[in-house]
Amino acid sequence: MESMEPIGREIARRSAITYTAISLLAALLFFGAATWKGGYSEVARWGGAAWVFLLSMIVTMPLVTAYYRKRGRRTSIGGA
């Protein structure tokens, strides 16, 4: 069981990088759209971007982690 631990850590690291990047991209897109549209205060744009980031993290974290776990099992079974 100890030999599986580094693989689990690698899956956790990859999924954390992926879902953080997705959430940052969503927040940046929101901020850019709110800035481009205009009419919103700085607080509304930054607060909205933070809210989008947090919600994106909540939604993408289990999805991305499950994807990498499934992919990790598939490659370890297949031997590739």
- Each of the 80 residues of the chain gets a pLDDT tens digit; together they read 445 577 788 899 999 999 999 999 999 999 999 999 999 999 999 999 999 999 999 999 999 999 999 987 776 655 54
Q: Is 38 left (phi over 0), alpha (psi -120 to 50) or beta?
A: left
Please report the pLDDT score of residue 1 as a whole number.
44
Domain ranges of the chain: 2-75
| CA separation for the pair 77, 37 (Å, rounded) | 50
Please report the pLDDT score of residue 7 as a whole number.
73
On whether the CB atoms of residues 63 and 49 are closer than 8 A, the answer is: no
| CA separation for the pair 25, 19 (Å, rounded) | 10
Please report the pLDDT score of residue 77 as a whole number.
55
Please report the pLDDT score of residue 8 as a whole number.
85
